[in-house]
Amino acid sequence: MHTPRLALPLLQPGQAQKEMLVNEAIALLDIAVQGAVAAAALDVPPVDPNPGDCWIVGNAPGGAWAGHAHEIAGWTSSGWLFVRPREGTQLWVGSTGSVALFTGGAWRLGELHGKLFIEGDQVVGPREAAIAEPSGGSTVDAEARTAIASVLDALRAHGLIEGG
């Protein structure tokens, strides 16, 4: 007998008198370690879950999830288990193919947080101030201005600089 996601071994009845507590602890580990959920921000439990499937509970849960807002709900052969996320908990959300981050008491879905380094060099940092479009001057170079405007538009579209 083992947990459905990570195949952690469970105690068999009769192996120890504490199999229920040990098995529940192992099932909670199976939910939280290398966390992945089917979907996020659901307030109603799925009708026919499979053991090992998990979800991020929404803001106003009902039914079997009542009282577990923002927690990770995992279905086991014994029923629902819940894990309260800690600051910095990250989970893979299968329905969106993105990451969820728990910060400031709430889940932030589909966002990446931090700095981007490539081979030890930071290539993306905090958003910088707006850069004005080129204008004026004694010589107008339309091609250069078009190229600069295109670069600025791309940086704005990616959120790397503010709109001008």
For tokens 């001008």, what's the residue?
A: 164
Report if pTM > 0.85.
no
User: How many CB atoms sit inside 10 A of residue 135's CB?
Assistant: 7
More confident residue, 66 or 27: 66
List alpha helices for 53-163, DSSP H: 142-157
Please report the pLDDT score of residue 66 as a whole number. Answer: 98
Please report the pLDDT score of residue 146 as a whole number. Answer: 85
Q: Predicted confidence band at 38 (pLDDT cuts at 50, 70, 90)?
A: very high
Q: In 3D, which of 42, 36, 49 has the Cα closest to residue 77?
A: 49
Within the chain, strands assigned E span 36-37, 39-42, 54-57, 72-76, 79-83, 90-93, 98-103, 106-109, 116-118, 121-124
Question: Is residue 132 within 8 Å of residue 74, measured between CB atoms?
Answer: no
- DSSP class of residue 161 equals B
Q: Which backbone phi and psi does 156 adopt, to 5 degrees?
A: -65, -45
Instruction: Say which residues have a Cβ less than 8 Å from residue 21's Cβ, sequence separation at least 6.
Output: none
3-state secondary structure of 124: strand
More confident residue, 96 or 23: 96
3-state secondary structure of 147: helix
More confident residue, 14 or 145: 145
pLDDT digits (tens, 9 = 90+) for 52-84: 899 999 999 999 999 999 999 999 888 998 988
Q: Predicted confidence band at 122 (pLDDT cuts at 50, 70, 90)?
A: confident
